[in-house]
Every structure is written in C-alpha cells, then in structure tokens.
Amino acid sequence: MKIGWMVNAIGSMAGKGKMSKIVPFLDEGVAVTISRINVDYVMTGRGIVHLWGKTL
C-alpha cells in the first residue's frame, strides 16, 4: 500500500491581486468543499502550510 500526501494548491488573491482570499475564520453556514481530514498541506502564491493533525 502506498501512502501519499493530499496537497491542495489554490489561488490566494482576488481583485487583480489586491485582496486575499485566505481568511482565518468562516462565517456560520458557509460551505466547505474539502473536508479537513483530506488536507495535509495547502499551497498558495503566498506560501505553504502543513495542516495535518491540527485542530480548530
């Protein structure tokens, strides 16, 4: 059995590069399309973060 990492590369900027799409919290009721169990790393144009095992 091979073991791998789940890596999500997402765009981090909106508004022609003037506004970040990365936010520390989500508003109540906002849909999340990737469950946290499926995310080890998140990469953006601003950097990379290792999230595996982190809690809210």
Locate the domains of the chain by residue range: 1-20+31-56
Mean pLDDT (whole number) for 43-49: 78
Give the pLDDT score at 4.
77
Give the pLDDT score at 19.
86
Give the pLDDT score at 1.
60
The DSSP call for residue 28 is T
pLDDT digits (tens, 9 = 90+) for 1-43: 667 777 767 777 888 888 888 788 889 998 877 776 777 887 7
Give the pLDDT score at 56.
64
Q: Give the separation between CA 20 and CA 22, rounded to whole angstroms.
A: 5
Q: The whole model's pTM is what?
A: 0.49
